[in-house]
């Protein structure tokens, strides 16, 4: 077996004549976090549905933990846990009853089941509200319970469809640390999100989905590097210094109002040293400098929602 937890090739899916996934290839190594990033309607949930055997592909192959999703759906289901985009908890049951229901539906033996329920309630900080009906839970508590339910049976590959949408910053961070703990245990996480910061924080690899196609794939740093615009910004105290620096630094552009100079650079230590050496050589002192790298927001905006550009580029 390879170390791919998820291997997808040429995946296609249409609803009637609407093509939703138009040839997706991806590979997720075991024990890593993969984030599928994309705007509303990009096809994230559809991808999760096909990968978790909830929907059938129209073309391509999907292998999960080495099993083919089309021909061995049972084996796939036994290897995975899924937390859907909309909490799948039962409002009328208590938190504990919801978890117990999952245990009853799983192969976990009844005796061990009780322990599993208690451990999960504790781990997700839900002990106090365990006896209350879920209808009285906040959105964040529901999300946590939903994820706890996914963990019954200890799945090694977990799909999380927008696990933190609608959570406040604190609950989001709690969710992130739970996700990191799972990966530290060797679990593979496939996570969809609309939050670039989330992908940046968590993911080993990111794929950006737009209108059913992957428009970029790589580590967060690789994606950031795809967007040109990394530069060094130097600030000066006098116009004379700005003038002098602009003369000796090739390719720089000036911002007279801010007494600043924008110098293209890869941001690496070697080029920074060369830049500062050059200023030294001409006895020019800068008031301050900063390296400006594009963040994932820039990447996302540059890569998605550009159908017209794509068409006209052909
Ligand atoms: N069962 C279905 N029948 C018909 N069209 C569908 C169905 N499910 C999804 N679609 C369409 O497929 C496209 C992708 O939907 P999907 O739910 O995968 O997007 P998403 O990336 O998860 O979006 P969001 O961020 O809003 O959750 C949308 O245009 C949607 O209308
Ligand atoms: Mg969705």
- What would the 3-class secondary structure string for 160-178 be? EECCCCCCCHHHHHHHHHH
Residue 21 has pLDDT above 90, yes or no: yes
The confidence band for 305, taking pLDDT boundaries of 50, 70 and 90, is low
Sheet of strand 213-218: strand arrangement: 80-83, 157-161, 188-193, 33-37, 205-210, 213-218
Mean pLDDT of 79-86: 88
In ligand 1, which atom is closest to the CA atom of 44? Answer: 21
CA 44 to ligand 1 center in whole angstroms = 8
In ligand 1, which atom is closest to the CA atom of 46? Answer: 18
In ligand 1, which atom is closest to the CA atom of 18? Answer: 5
Mean pLDDT of 262-276: 89
Closest residue (by CA) to atom 28 of ligand 1?
41
Closest residue (by CA) to atom 24 of ligand 1?
40
Give Cα separations from 186 to 155, 177, 179, 286 (angstroms). Answer: 11, 14, 11, 48
pTM: 0.80
CA 214 to ligand 1 center in whole angstroms = 16
CA 211 to ligand 1 center in whole angstroms = 10
For the segment 184-237, what is each residue's pLDDT rounded down to a tens digit? 999 999 999 988 889 989 999 999 999 899 999 999 888 877 766 778 999 999
Give the number of the ligand closest to the Cα of residue 209: 1
**CA-CA distance, 37 to 206, in Å (whole number)?**
7
CA 171 to ligand 1 center in whole angstroms = 26
In ligand 1, which atom is closest to the CA atom of 209? Answer: 21
Burial of 9-43, coded b for 16+ CB within 10 Å and e otherwise, reads eebbbeeeeebbbbebebbbebbbbbbbbbeeebb
First-to-last alpha carbon distance for the chain, in angstroms, is: 40
Residues framing ligand 1 (Cβ under 6 A): 15, 20, 38, 40-46, 85, 194
Which candidate, 223, 206, 145, places its Cα nearest to that of 178?
A: 145
């Amino acid at each position: 077996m390879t170390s791919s937890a998820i291997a997808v090739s040429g995946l296609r899916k249409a609803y009637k004549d609407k093509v939703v996934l138009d040839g997706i290839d991806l590979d997720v190594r075991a024990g890593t976090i993969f984030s599928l990033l994309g705007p509303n309607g990009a096809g994230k949930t559809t991808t999760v549905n096909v990968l978790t055997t909830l929907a059938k592909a129209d073309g391509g192959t999907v292998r999960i933990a080495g099993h083919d999703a089309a021909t061995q759906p049972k084996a796939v289901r036994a290897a995975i846990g899924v937390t859907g985009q909309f909490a799948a908890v039962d409002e009328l049951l208590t938190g504990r009853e919801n978890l117990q229901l999952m245990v009853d539906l799983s192969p976990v033996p009844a005796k061990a089941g009780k322990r599993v329920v208690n451990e999960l309630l504790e781990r997700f900080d839900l002990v106090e509200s365990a006896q209350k009906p879920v209808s009285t839970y906040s959105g964040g508590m529901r999300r946590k319970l939903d994820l706890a339910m996914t963990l019954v049976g200890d799945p090694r590959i977990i799909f999380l469809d927008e696990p933190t949408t609608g959570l406040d910053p604190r609950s989001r961070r709690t969710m992130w640390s739970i996700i990191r703990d799972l990966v530290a245990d060797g679990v593979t996480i496939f996570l969809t999100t609309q939050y670039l910061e989330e992908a940046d924080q968590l993911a080993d690899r990111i794929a950006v989905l737009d209108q059913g196609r992957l428009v970029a794939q790589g580590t967060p740093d690789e994606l950031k590097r795809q967007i040109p615009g990394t530069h060094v910004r130097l600030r000066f105290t006098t116009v004379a210094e700005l003038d002098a620096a602009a003369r000796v630094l090739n390719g720089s552009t000036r911002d007279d109002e801010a007494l600043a100079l924008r110098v293209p650079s890869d941001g690496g230590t070697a080029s920074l040293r060369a830049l500062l050496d050059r200023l030294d050589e001409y006895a020019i002192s800068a008031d301050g400098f900063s390296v400006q790298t594009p963040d994932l927001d820039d990447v996302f905006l540059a890569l998605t929602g550009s159908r017209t550009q794509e068409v006209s580029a052909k």
